[in-house]
Amino acid sequence: MIKAVFFDLDGTLADTAPDLAAALNQLLAEQGRSALPYEVIRPAVSLGGNAMIRLAFGIDEVTPEFNSFRQRFLEIYQSRLLDDTHLFPGMSQVLEILESKGIIWGVITNKPSWLTNPLMQKLGLYGRAKCIISGDTTENRKPHPAPMLYACEISETEPCSSLYIGDARRDIDAGRAAGMHTLIAEYGYIGKDEEPSQWRADGMISDPLGIIDWINNFHTDQ
């Protein structure tokens, strides 16, 4: 039986790309550069801040300006954390259904806690989540299984009865390494050149309500 459901945050639980894209384009404007189209930025969101800076400026982490650009990007993003961010359509209903079934849920993200916690509070979910594991909660981040195992520990659930949902390969790799069941959120920030069918997840969902269908089928099949 699935007793716990854990979500990636960006691109799975919440649609944060509009605010992240706006922050990145503001940084580009500050540096006298042209804005990038939203559809170009969106697939990079789940890969994190470093990937977004690499995309915007064509530089890598060894470039002297990289860290200052990344820090300024995060400062801008923090200032507009929930201007255009919202739960994906159907996600509120999913959380209500999970709670009504007695299935606990939480968040496991690589986003730093100083951004994760305020965002969860603004979304009205901070007190409802059984656990919120950020990128700086454990020594290692996804794709390492440590955050997943810690989520199970503090939620008092076993990985084999847990489901993790994400939209990046590292999400699925981390979940599988921890012994969790995994689902790919196809509605998230997956690039056209990626092949999620090769990630070896237990399933793929095209919208949040697919989570409930998968759980119901899983329980029926056992």
Catalytic residues: 8, 10
Residue 98, Ramachandran bin (φ over 0: left; ψ between -120 and 50: alpha; else beta): alpha
- How far apart are the C-alpha atoms of 216 and 84, rounded to whole Å? 32
Q: Are strands 132-133 and 162-166 parallel, antiparallel or unpaired?
A: unpaired
d(CA 29, CA 109): 29
Give the CA angle between residues 159, 202, 99 to the nearest 5°: 55
> Could you identify the residue written with the tokens 């919208």?
207
Q: Which of 101, 46, 48 is nearest to 211 (CA)?
A: 101
